[in-house]
Structure 1
């Protein structure tokens, strides 16, 4: 039956004759069979032969638990045996991975192009002579950046500060925002710090430690480090027992679905959130130096807003002379059918900073305004300031994305997958609720009334899938995810609904 749902757009299942159903099934099967796989050695599909974890997995987990906290473990993997879209465990179970770790594997397990980059003399040098980039960058560091990370810089942003992880990228972006704001208030880059500033800052007091803030949104996730955690609002468990800054949070639009049936209500909701955001910018006792926002709130439940909402945010930041930081740690590098998700918004001017990590396999933030460079050295600094080995890997990922046209491919496969889920949602409206992500590549989610059981049971059918928020099932397949993988996923979704 699920094969029909994926092929019929105009006729409901009950009206199809058995012959018509069989004909459409054959046509879809032939079309899928004609699709050339990106990985010729991929399994034909998932296989599960033991409980999960199985006996070998249990032994390995017990061994690991002696020296490492395993309570958040999702799946113990055997990476040498994993390939393409499929991840394998120590018991030989093979799963179609539509979670991609945590949206962080871009072009497949054991991708040959990445393996070739890993074996290069350039990579060996970067690995065994890891430079402290602020003090001792290699003489080819500019070339590595210019031939890799900067080739995909968002429009209008031509510089980069490299970092270690998404939280690190956001924290350094926040620091840049604070230094930029104080530079303005002080009167420019050549105005030196006062004695009062240099003295008070050593006591964590103003004016050296200014009373400024970063405005984020309810249900946002921007990381787990100390500063980024104050802008994370997705789950209490991330924040409990950690001192936090008194920084403002505005409401993020709570849209109703299907979007086309709630256009007026959703527009009012977005207008309300923009009004609240402006009020907080104007009235919060620690004035914001920047607004930070995810194009799609990922960890917080896969919450979307319209391009008009984000254009409204950009207008507010311009109006009030604060910075606009777009957190593309999870949405960036092609997953939404654009290389950067904010390309969907048609902004009148680019964001001031765009942070990235995950599928890039490295991290940092892009910027264009030279005033976002601190006026003195060592102000934006740490030992590593990123990792050339990971920058080289990102360059190989970019080349693979370009070679296979994976951004456009993801847009097309996302449309195919969304249409299949939309048909299943029509058949099982109580089980697939608030389907969202149309036109956003494979960045798709829906709410399930038994979400946790849905995710757990999916593994018994050979699919590794993730969740977000309280009830969302979030799809995060790799950029090499194809229609025949979507067919497998849709079959499993229907089986889970029926089970």
Structure 2
């Protein structure tokens, strides 16, 4: 799946030909400060001209290995030719209609692929949205509609987004929550993530602590338990063996919708299609975004048909939900992920 040109450029990085930032990047950064709010941070003050695979080339000719992948987005490369082809072809046909107004086939094909591959041996349905935070919030909406309950259980050191509800669900105070409250904290309850290094708890002890929190607040109050199979914002936290499976069992015993947030860890990034597969766990609802669109904004909630279909007609949607150009990008990503060599190479790396 990799061109000879791409292979060559991968060997030719990093290459630094100017100071960092270079003169052109420095000039553009000065323009940025005059035009854009200071609220946007930046990790590296360089401006990118083009990309090839995992190599970014800035406007001054410096070449960088892209270890950030656009925050876990460009998992098939920052300019994969198949993504570019499908996106360009769709843009020439139509850029938008809104799926809730007039339908298009690519929306169905993305949903079918996710229904077939998301863990869980049951009938599934999918809803497409635009961003990861949107997927998280809609999962909460769906779980509330299905259960008739208000609250959400999340874990220590979790990250679920920057919208008002997902900031409440996110554990990291700075920079995500600082000064933006009050949050809907009365509906969000936090329990241990079982991180052995920080909590000192083994798997059984951590699960007992989670159950204590559920019991303390009343199991009948919780609509959803939302967990990341691998956390990425409070450190890269891999759960102890058996912890995710134990959480799933706890949720189902208490009638809580078990939501697996694969937005950052999923779609091949761990050597499996979904990170939850390492623990043999399936969510009642599974969330995807980031790598799903290879840089185009698209997200999804995929889950049990009875839960997904509990929402009334018109209760889900969004102007840009499952935009046709983003759907084509996702279908190109699926072509890459369905090549057996792709995950084999990820696992090797």
* TM surpasses 0.5: yes
Aligned to 2:168: 230
**Aligned partners of 1:323, 1:173: CA distance in 2, in Å?**
9
Q: How far is 1:76 from its partner?
A: 5.0
Corresponding pairs, count? 337
- Aligned Cα RMSD in Å? 2.5
Aligned to 1:446: none
Aligned to 2:142: 176
For the structure 1 residues 118 and 316, does the alpha-carbon distance in structure 2 shift closer, same or farther, using more than 3 Å as the test? same
Is 1:39 paired with 2:3?
A: no
2:175 counterpart SS class? helix
2:141 counterpart SS class? helix
2:345 counterpart SS class? helix
Q: How far is 1:37 from its partner?
A: 6.4
* Conserved 8 A contact 1:41-1:83: no
* Conserved 8 A contact 2:20-2:46: no
Of 368, 374, 378 in structure 1, the residue corresponding to residue 314 of structure 2 is 378
Q: How far is 1:77 from its partner?
A: 5.4
* Conserved 8 A contact 1:220-1:299: yes
Aligned to 2:121: 156
Map 1:101-116 to 2 at 5 A.
Answer: 101-116=70-85
Moved beyond 6 Å, runs of 4+: 35-38
Aligned to 2:17: 49
1:42 counterpart SS class? helix
**Aligned partners of 1:142, 1:165: CA distance in 2, in Å?**
18
Map 1:431-442 to 2 at 5 A.
Answer: none
Aligned to 2:209: 276
Question: Which consecutive residues of structure 2, in runs of 5 or more, have no partner in the other structure?
Answer: none
Map 1:252-331 to 2 at 5 A.
Answer: 252-256=193-197, 268-284=201-217, 287-331=221-265
Is 1:389 paired with 2:329?
A: no
Q: How far is 1:298 from its partner?
A: 0.5
For the structure 1 residues 410 and 242, does the alpha-carbon distance in structure 2 shift closer, same or farther, using more than 3 Å as the test? same
1:133-153: CA deviation from partner (whole Å, max 9, x where unpaired): 22322256424543x544533
Of 159, 162, 185 in structure 2, the residue corresponding to residue 221 of structure 1 is 159
Map 1:349-368 to 2 at 5 A.
Answer: 350-361=282-293, 362-368=298-304
2:339 counterpart SS class? helix
**Aligned partners of 1:271, 1:126: CA distance in 2, in Å?**
54
**Aligned partners of 1:40, 1:270: CA distance in 2, in Å?**
43
For the structure 1 residues 318 and 144, does the alpha-carbon distance in structure 2 shift closer, same or farther, using more than 3 Å as the test? closer
**Aligned partners of 1:294, 1:219: CA distance in 2, in Å?**
10
1:344 counterpart SS class? helix
Q: How far is 1:377 from its partner?
A: 1.7
Query: Whose Rg is larger?
Result: 1
1:275-305: CA deviation from partner (whole Å, max 9, x where unpaired): 1211221221682111111111101111121
Question: Which consecutive residues of structure 1, in runs of 5 or more, have no partner in the other structure?
Answer: 1-34, 183-209, 258-264, 414-499
1:331 counterpart SS class? coil
1:61 counterpart SS class? helix
* Conserved 8 A contact 1:78-1:87: no
For the structure 1 residues 363 and 51, does the alpha-carbon distance in structure 2 shift closer, same or farther, using more than 3 Å as the test? same
* Conserved 8 A contact 1:77-1:88: no
Is 1:119 paired with 2:88?
A: yes
Give me the TM-score of the superposition, normalised by structure 2.
0.88
Is 1:84 paired with 2:63?
A: no
1:367-399: CA deviation from partner (whole Å, max 9, x where unpaired): 123233234222223323232211110110111
**Aligned partners of 1:397, 1:330: CA distance in 2, in Å?**
15
1:364 counterpart SS class? strand
For the structure 1 residues 396 and 407, does the alpha-carbon distance in structure 2 shift closer, same or farther, using more than 3 Å as the test? same
**Aligned partners of 1:333, 1:352: CA distance in 2, in Å?**
18
Q: How far is 1:155 from its partner?
A: 3.4
**Aligned partners of 1:64, 1:38: CA distance in 2, in Å?**
33
